[in-house]
Amino acid sequence: MMSIYNNSKEQKPFRLVKFFTFSALMVMFAATIVISAMNAHWVRNILQEKSEDYAHLLVANLNHQVFLQFIIPAVLKYGKIKLREESQYQRMDRVIKTTLHGFNVDIVNIYDMNNTIAYSFDPEKKGVKDAGGTGYAMALNNKATSILIEKGNVVEMFFGVPHQTKIVTFAPLRAEKPLSSISGPVLGVVEITQDISDDYHKIFKLQLLTVATCFCVMAVLFFILVFVVRRGEMIIETRAMERLKLEDKLQRAEHLSAIGEMTAGISHEIRNPLGIIKSSAELLKKKMTKSDQPTTIIDIIVEESIRLNNIIKDFLDFAKPMTPLLKPCRIDEVIEKNIHYLYQQIKENDFVIAKDFTQPIPEIMADAEKLYQAFLNIMLNAFQAMPREGKLSIVLFVENEDIIILFHDQGKGIPEESLKKIWNPFFTTKEMGTGLGMGIVKNIIESHHGKIEIYNRDSGGVTVKIALPSKEKY
C-alpha cells in the first residue's frame, strides 16, 4: 500500500505538469486565432483607408484631366457643355477612360447639378435622376465621402470574407483656376466604384495560412509533448515497478533472514542432542549384536537420526550466507561426478542419461562442491518425477560468454500454481521433505552470479536452465 501511495504521489505532479502544458498549448492556439483575427481586421481597416485615399487621388487627377481636356476645349469649341450630343459624350468618354486606364476602377458616374447622371461607364444609367443619395448631397457641399459595400452569404460575412467588397467614393467635380491651387466652383459630382474583393480574399488567405501554420506548429509540439509524457510515464511506471520489486525482495530477505536466524539457532540446539542419540544408538546396537538380540528398533533410531541430521543440514545450508570458494572448475567434470554418484539409482530404475557435451566448454572459476550439490538436487528431483526407464537429457553449451546447462526430464511436469511457488522456502509437493532443496540450489547459482529458471515443456516434462558466467565474464 505504501509503495502504491508513493507512486501516486510521484505521478500527481507529473500529471499536473502535463495538464498545464496541454492547457497552455490550447490557450496559445486560441490566442493565435484571436490575434490573427485582430490582425486581419486591422489590415482590412488599413486597406479601406488606403483605398479611400487612392480613390480621392484618382478623383483629383480625373477632375484635373476632365477640366483641362474636356470642359475647356468643349466650352471654347461649342460655347457650352452638352453631353447629350454624341461628339461631346465621346470626347468625355475618351478622356475619362484614358485617365483611368490601368487603374482598378469598375464604375464611373458623373452627376450634373440636378442629381442626374450625365455620364456613366454603363450606358443604361445615362439620364437616371436622383441616384446620388447622401454621397451626392455631401459632394455638392464640397465634401468627399467613401462607403464600403460588402455582399455575401451568412458564412462569408461571419468569417469576414464577403463574396464582393467595393468602395464607392463621391467627390465634387470643380472648376480649376490656372496657375493656382485654389479650386473653383462645383460643376458636378463624380462617383467612382472600386472592387477590392481580391485584396480582401488575399487577406483572408493570409489569415488562414497564419492559423494553419500555427496549427501545424502546435500539432508538432503536441505530438512531441505526447511522446515526452508517455516516455516519462513509462519511466515512472518502470521505476515504480522496480521499487515494488525491491521492496518485495527486501521484505522477503528480511523474512528469510529472521527465519534463517531462528532456524540456525534451533538447528544448533537440536543437532547436539541428536548426535548423542545417534552415537548412543550405534553403541547400543553393537552391544545388542553381541547378545544376539534383534536390533530393528535401534536401526530405525539410527536411520531417523541420520535423516533428522540431513534435515538440519538443509536448514543450516539455506540459512547461512552462501560464499563460494572459487577455484578453476570444469562443469562437465562436475556433472560426470554427479552421474557416477547416482549410478546405482540410475541402474535400479533403468533411467537413461543422454549427454550433449559436443561443444568445447571453457574452464571457469567456481566452487565445484557447491555446484555438485546443486546439480545433485536437480537430478534427484528429476529421478523422483520420472517413471522407470525415464530419460534425463543434460545439454551443455556456451552462449554469449555464459555456460548454459539444461536438464530435461520426462516427468509429468509441475502444475502452474506450484511453479509460481517453487522458490518459496519450505514449499514442497512431496510427503517427506523440507522444501528447501530448490532454494538452496538457487542460492548456490546466484552466489556464482548465475541465473536459474524452471519451466514446463510443451512435449512434457520439466526443463531446468542454468546460466553461469564464463571465466572472462566472471
Q: 393-411: per-residue pLDDT in tens?
A: 999 998 888 899 999 998 8
Among residues 204, 74, 227, the alpha carbon closest in space to that of 152 is found at 204
d(CA 171, CA 61): 12
Buried b (16+ CB within 10 A) or exposed e, 304-325: ebeeebebbebbebbbeebebe
Q: Which residue has the cell 538443509?
A: 314
Q: Which residue has the cell 534451533?
A: 266
> Mean per-residue pLDDT for 42-52?
76
Kind of pairing between the strands at 352-356 and 391-399: parallel
Lowest mean pLDDT across 68-72, 200-204, 262-266, 330-334? 262-266
Q: What cell numbers appear for 382 in the block?
A: 528429476
Residue that wins the pLDDT comparison between 462 and 27: 462
> Mean per-residue pLDDT for 448-466?
88
Beta bridge partners of 150: 165
Is the per-residue pLDDT at 472 higher than 80?
Answer: no
Predicted confidence at residue 120, as pLDDT, reads 85
Task: List strand residue ranges (DSSP E) for 276-372, in order.
Answer: 327-329, 352-356, 364-366
d(CA 99, CA 50): 20
319, containing H or E segment: helix 296-319
> Mean per-residue pLDDT for 82-99?
81
Q: How many CB atoms lie within 10 A of CB 203?
A: 21
Lowest mean pLDDT across 373-377, 380-384, 449-453, 470-474? 470-474
| pLDDT confidence tier of residue 319, bands split at 50, 70 and 90 | low
Predicted confidence at residue 10, as pLDDT, reads 46
d(CA 347, CA 325): 33
User: What backbone torsions phi and psi does residue 309 show, to the nearest 5 degrees?
Assistant: -65, -40
**Could you tell me if 98 and 108 are in contact, meaning their C-beta atoms sit under 8 angstroms apart?**
no
Helices (H), 356-422: 368-385, 416-420
**Could you tell me if 203 and 43 are in contact, meaning their C-beta atoms sit under 8 angstroms apart?**
yes
Contacts 24+ apart (CB under 8 A), 217-225: 218/25, 218/28, 218/29, 218/32, 221/25, 222/22, 222/25, 225/18, 225/21, 225/22, 225/25
Lowest mean pLDDT across 152-161, 213-222, 323-332, 438-447? 152-161
Kind of pairing between the strands at 364-366 and 402-408: unpaired
Predicted confidence at residue 339, as pLDDT, reads 92
Is the per-residue pLDDT at 2 higher than 60?
Answer: no
> Mean per-residue pLDDT for 200-209?
76
Is the per-residue pLDDT at 44 higher than 60?
Answer: yes
Q: What is the pTM of this model?
A: 0.43
**Could you tell me if 445 and 430 are in contact, meaning their C-beta atoms sit under 8 angstroms apart?**
no
| pLDDT confidence tier of residue 169, bands split at 50, 70 and 90 | confident
Task: List strand residue ranges (DSSP E) for 159-227, in order.
Answer: 164-176, 183-195
> Mean per-residue pLDDT for 406-417?
85
pLDDT tens for residues 276-288?
676 776 676 676 6
- List of domains in the chain: 2-195 (3.30.450.20), 322-469 (3.30.565.10)
pLDDT tens for residues 65-74?
888 888 888 7
Is the per-residue pLDDT at 130 higher than 70?
Answer: yes
Predicted confidence at residue 405, as pLDDT, reads 92
Predicted confidence at residue 101, as pLDDT, reads 76
**Could you tell me if 150 and 164 are in contact, meaning their C-beta atoms sit under 8 angstroms apart?**
yes
Is the per-residue pLDDT at 18 higher than 70?
Answer: no
Q: What cell numbers appear for 403 in the block?
A: 555456460
Beta bridge partners of 455: 463
Predicted confidence at residue 426, as pLDDT, reads 58
Rg of the chain in Å (alpha carbons): 53
Predicted confidence at residue 474, as pLDDT, reads 42
Is the per-residue pLDDT at 212 higher than 60?
Answer: yes
Residues 6 or more apart from 409 whose CB is under 8 A from it?
A: 382, 385, 386, 390, 391, 392, 461, 462
Average per-residue pLDDT for the chain: 77
Predicted confidence at residue 465, as pLDDT, reads 93
The winner for highest mean pLDDT among 101-105, 159-163, 253-257, 462-466 is: 462-466
Is the per-residue pLDDT at 181 higher than 60?
Answer: no
Buried b (16+ CB within 10 A) or exposed e, 414-440: beeeeeeebeebebbeeeeebbbbbbb
